[in-house]
Amino acid sequence: MKTLATIATFIALTTAAHAADVSGEDLLDACDSDLHTGELGAMKEGMCLGYTMASGQILTVLGISCAPSSVSVGAMRALVIEQMRTAKKGGFPLSKTSASQIFYLALKYKGWVCKDRQADADARFLPTGR
């Protein structure tokens, strides 16, 4: 239940100022702001980290580029909650790293495919948090 409450808090962050969609930049700004104030829990921080990875803020160093322009908040919430429930049932530890992986996969599932800029092909990449 605590995990779902944390997810709800994260979703509230994105829905407070936006109706159906939130721009990628706005979401990154909100995540960045909370990261600097130290107000993020592990799940929320993991999801922000996952979005940051998927948006290319971290992956550019690895030559992988992903650039979602907007996120459907309802679809994002449904996908992330579904994936986290599945992970929990399978005994997957719900750490910050796993949250970022789940969020990254949810974004990828929505069609924001990451590309290897050098090969110009789909990048088979799952962040490990290392």
Domain residues of the chain, as ranges? 2-122
Expressed in percent and rounded to 5, the helix, strand and coil fractions of the chain are: 60, 10, 30
User: Hey, what's the torsion of the CAs at 81, 83, 85, 86, to 10 degrees?
Assistant: 160
Taking CA atoms, 123 is separated from 37, 59, 63, 100, in Å, by: 33, 11, 10, 17
pLDDT at 66: 47
pLDDT at 100: 60
- Model confidence at 104, in pLDDT bands (50, 70, 90)? low
Residue 38 has phi, psi (to 5 degrees) of 70, 25
- Residue 65 DSSP symbol: E
Could you tell me what percent of the chain has a pLDDT over 70? 1
Instruction: Tell me if the pTM is above 0.75.
Output: no
